[in-house]
Structure 1
Amino acid sequence: MKIAIGNDHAGTSYKQKIVAYLEAEGHNVTNYGTDDDGSVDYPDFGHPVATQVENGTADFGIVICGSGNGIAMSVNKHQGVRGALCWIKEIAVLAREHNNANVIAIPARYTSENQAVDMVKAFLNTEFEGGRHQRRVDKIACS
């Protein structure tokens, strides 16, 4: 699976742990995030991830910032991107099952690194249920 990942300064260590997990699982990961703790602007790292998902070069995206909100707002500006802010594994599962989310946004200041990896595992291993949820997902995109 091809996965794009991006983070600001709050998510650097989270990204490193997530990337190690993904690569160990055989996924192809493209890193658009910062690799240090110096202050940066989250949209600069969220937009490239969303672009990859939007144009189909990545199957899924993972974005990380302090609250998860700013980077989620950034990725959701892209057509066809359904970014879900997740803070526990169960929300990540529902985001996939019910919303067909294709980007997970993780709040680094409100989850542990292990929780983040668990959310990513759940997110990537959960299928969209379709059915009644498809009608709702179809209404997300503006025509």
Structure 2
Amino acid sequence: MDTVLASDHRGLKLKNFLIKKIQSEIIEDSYNKIIDLGPFSDDYPSDYPDYAFLMAEKIKQIQNNKYPHFGILICASGIGMSISANRFPWIRAALCRNKKDVILARSHNNANILVLGSNFIQDETAFSMYKLFYKTEFIYNKKYYNRVKKMTY
């Protein structure tokens, strides 16, 4: 799986930390490459909707491959990124603040975007949440599948 990341200027530091950490600790073939959608500098403010939309378009572009693609979006609270990304029917962005949120987002809702609030998550905690997000599988049973289907359209 590819790891697609984007943030606004407030999430840039955490995004860069995650990229370096992911590159330094390969997680049992859980990704093929890192795709950084930006921003690449905090010299000027960047608007989170712009990066959420970039993420949505990138996921749509690569979703036809035979393996799933996931993304990570980061802003100060995570709320703006979640709202912006969830405008698209192929996106299920979940704002997670702890590991239980991550497990439920993936296993019950088949979330494909992990959203983090840089003001609320420490760097190492964010990395452990990333690993858990990518390792947790969706529970394919009638109940959860039907709920996800209703969210999609």
Q: TM-score, normalised by structure 2?
A: 0.86
Tell me whether 1:16 sits opposite 2:16 in the alignment: yes
Asked whether the equivalents of residues 66 and 108 of structure 1 are also in contact (C-alpha less than 8 Å), the reply is yes
Task: State the 1:113 CA deviation.
Answer: 1.1
Q: Kindly report structure 1 stretches of 4+ aligned residues shifted beyond 4 Å.
A: none
Corresponding position of 1:54: 60
Tell me whether 1:113 sits opposite 2:118 in the alignment: no
Corresponding position of 2:34: 29
Q: Deviations over 1:62-110 (max 9, x none)?
A: 1000010111111111121100000111111110000000001101011
Corresponding position of 2:91: 81
For 2:19 and 2:89, how far apart are their aligned partners in 1? 26
For 1:22 and 1:78, how far apart are their aligned partners in 2? 27
Task: State the 1:45 CA deviation.
Answer: 1.1
For 2:98 and 2:120, how far apart are their aligned partners in 1? 10
Tell me whether 1:44 sits opposite 2:50 in the alignment: yes
Q: Structure 1 vs Structure 2: percent identity of aligned residues?
A: 32
For 1:85 and 1:59, how far apart are their aligned partners in 2? 17
Unaligned runs of 5+ in 2: none
Higher alpha-carbon deviation: 99-108 or 133-142: 133-142
Structure 1: which amino acid aligns with 2:50?
D
Structure 2: which amino acid aligns with 1:39?
P
Asked whether the equivalents of residues 83 and 101 of structure 1 are also in contact (C-alpha less than 8 Å), the reply is yes
Calculate the aligned-residue CA RMSD, in Å.
1.5
**How many aligned positions are there?**
142
Q: Deviations over 1:20-51 (max 9, x none)?
A: 23223163111112123332101111111111
